Copies of this chain bind each other. A is one copy, B any other.
Amino acid sequence: MVIAICGYTGQGVETAGAILSEVLRANGRRFRTWRDFSTIIRGGLTSFEAYVDEDTGGEAPARLHAVDVAVVWDRQAAERYRDRVRHVTGLYGAATVDGVPNANRDVLDPVGFNLWALGVVACKLGLSPEDVQAAAMAHFHQRVNLEPLHRGYAKAAGSTSSGPVQASDAPDTAILSGNDALCLGAIHGGVRIYCGYPITPASEILEYMAAWLPEVGGRAYQVEDEIAAIHMAIGASYAGMRTFVATSGPGIDLMTEGLGYAATIEVPLVVVDNQRGGPSTGMPTKTEQSDLRHLLYAGHWEFPRIVLAPTGVVDCLAVIQEALNLADLHQCPVLVALDLDLALRRISVPWETVNDALMRVPALRGRTVLPPASVHGYRRFAAEDGGLPWRTVPGVRGGGYVASGDEHDERGWMEPDFQSVRPTLHRRRLEKVHCVRYDRPLTPVGSPEAPVCLVGTGAMGELIHAAVAAHPDLYRGVLLRQLWPVPADGLLAAVAGAREVVVCEYNATGQLAHLLATTVPDGGCRTVRRYDGEHYTVEAFLAALEAAGETLHGRVRG
């Protein structure tokens, strides 16, 4: 069942969504939420949607176009959902809204609208009024007038109801967004220090870290800008502590110089880019996957990097830990490409699943030498055995060296004979990512016999799952987790035998398709792209796939 609540920012639509989610969680229901943003703090149109108990093939229900119940505050909100409700009887709203069936209208106050709407959808979802009431009371610390909630319930019960649904057997369920998962994974992976600067949609990461880190002896700092954030992270990492930074568009630009510096001094550094609509300040509250080229190529060259991307919310728990490991193992920057949808999407997940994903990745620190160890005849940047050099951190006796962004020799000295240093040290540094051994560079979906192979990352994951579930004989999928270096062998194997490869991405220029074009056999692939800031619903995605064969941007060649 798909439900929606739509009103104005400031009316508490998000609050209603949060209360609803909590009751759904406590009942062990399977769901995914979606919320709409606006740069307008008070007065912009805003929606909350929940996709409950639908099975679209992935970790949680994917977004669907068809809505069962939509509760709208005014005419503009009604416009949004009129075409999406399966039947007009699914439309509920304030008495002033034309087009809402008479039986579904009520005289509403702007302040109580959210609770009324909560009553309507909770009833339709078969949630018990007691549960919802208790959750609301808890949320508002008892200080709330619940009358609209009850009226909403009554209104919905009056019409055809779907009847109470049994709570599932596994009520130990968590609600998790991509941002949550990232933070949990990071802390589990040993992160105890975090420096961040607010930016949509990465602010939550700073906020979670500020709330949680002190509980485990850690510290979060809100710093003055993204340049400070990345350089503080470099400092902390140099000093042996695990950390990462997260930002979005404008912030990732500002981190460019730090990226090359970390790579040059061979300090582990994990950078998360919660991509949003570009370019420039762009569409801060809208999703996009358009920073890939920057992540791959930004920074005056030439230095190594690894680029990862999670395939879903639960995967974030693992990817951030894997990123921390790869950064330590390769002593280089590891970039994690997230997107707004994946970062903010909330899903219900059995705690068991969270726990398993958290535990699956053991922390690997590679050749990091921590105090109280000591070393002798130490040369920080020497790697005689063809592997990586050993990295000491302050406090290790005999381990002193200087980490310089100037080109340097094996001891770190900045005025070496470049002609002897470059072919050895510089090449080693560049080539160390040629041998990245990443456990699961990609996740195949569906049957290897299906003729059309859909390739995507991040928020495309749930859609590819849904397409494969809808047409298992036609579609299979590849969810890429390692974007750079391109896992050519795995990709070739995964697309083997496909009649057609379709790269699906949220951007205008086909950045992923261009990256993969030289790897995909027959030198090309079709693309499905969207760049108006909206997510595909499953229905729209399937339609776009169908159209792709004929009309879309044609083949991308390497």
- Nearest B-chain residue to A265, judged by Cβ: B280
- Nearest B-chain residue to A304, judged by Cβ: B279
- Nearest B-chain residue to A558, judged by Cβ: B558
Structural contact, B407 and A283, CB atoms closer than 8 A? yes
Structural contact, B531 and A415, CB atoms closer than 8 A? no
Structural contact, A260 and B279, CB atoms closer than 8 A? yes
Residue from A277, A300, A303, A533 with most neighbouring chain B CB atoms (10 Å): A300
Which residues 250-299 in A have Cβ within 8 Å of B in the complex? 250, 252-254, 256-257, 260-261, 263-265, 273, 275, 277-284, 286, 290-294, 296-299
Rounded to whole Å, the gap between the CB of A296 and the closest CB of chain B is 7
Residue from A39, A278, A303, A517 with most neighbouring chain B CB atoms (10 Å): A278
Rounded to whole Å, the gap between the CB of A204 and the closest CB of chain B is 19
Given contacts A256-B253, A257-B250, A532-B418, contact A279 B263 (CB under 8 A): yes
Chain A 38-61 near chain B by CB (<8 Å), digits 1 or 0: 111000100000000000000000
Main secondary structure of the interface of A (DSSP, over half): mixed
Chain B residues in 8 Å Cβ range of A286: 418
Structural contact, B511 and A282, CB atoms closer than 8 A? no
A264–B253 Cα distance when bound, in Å, is 15
Which residues 406-437 in A have Cβ within 8 Å of B in the complex? 406-407, 414-415, 418-419, 422-423, 426-427, 430
A482–B352 Cα distance when bound, in Å, is 57
- Copies of this chain, whole number: 2
Structural contact, A294 and B298, CB atoms closer than 8 A? yes
- Nearest B-chain residue to A517, judged by Cβ: B558
A40–B293 Cα distance when bound, in Å, is 37
Chain B residues in 8 Å Cβ range of A430: 508-509
Chain B residues in 8 Å Cβ range of A299: 253, 279, 294, 298
Judge if A518 is at the interface, Cβ distance under 8 Å.
yes
Judge if A534 is at the interface, Cβ distance under 8 Å.
yes
- Nearest B-chain residue to A40, judged by Cβ: B415
Chain A 182-211 near chain B by CB (<8 Å), digits 1 or 0: 000000000000000000000000000000
Rounded to whole Å, the gap between the CB of A230 and the closest CB of chain B is 11
Judge if A394 is at the interface, Cβ distance under 8 Å.
no
A414–B283 Cα distance when bound, in Å, is 9
Chain B residues in 8 Å Cβ range of A406: 39, 280-284
Interface residues on A, range: 35 or more
Rounded to whole Å, the gap between the CB of A217 and the closest CB of chain B is 33
A248–B279 Cα distance when bound, in Å, is 23
A39–B406 Cα distance when bound, in Å, is 10
Which residues 523-540 in A have Cβ within 8 Å of B in the complex? 531-534
A301–B277 Cα distance when bound, in Å, is 9
Judge if A151 is at the interface, Cβ distance under 8 Å.
no
A281–B404 Cα distance when bound, in Å, is 8
Rounded to whole Å, the gap between the CB of A144 and the closest CB of chain B is 32
- Nearest B-chain residue to A292, judged by Cβ: B301
Residue from the list B257, B275, B302 in contact with A254, Cβ < 8 A: B257
Structural contact, B297 and A301, CB atoms closer than 8 A? no
Structural contact, B300 and A531, CB atoms closer than 8 A? no
27 A-B pairs in the complex with CB atoms less than 8 angstroms apart: A44-B415, A253-B260, A253-B298, A256-B298, A264-B281, A277-B407, A278-B301, A278-B302, A278-B303, A279-B300, A279-B303, A281-B404, A283-B407, A284-B406, A286-B418, A290-B300, A290-B302, A291-B300, A293-B301, A294-B298, A294-B299, A297-B298, A302-B507, A302-B508, A426-B508, A426-B531, A430-B508
Q: Name 12 extra pairs, CB < 8 A, besides A261-B280, A264-B279, A286-B418.
A: A277-B407, A279-B301, A279-B303, A280-B303, A281-B407, A282-B300, A283-B406, A290-B302, A297-B297, A301-B507, A422-B532, A518-B558
- What are the nearest 7 A-B pairs in CB distance? A280-B405, A253-B257, A264-B280, A249-B300, A281-B405, A297-B297, A558-B558
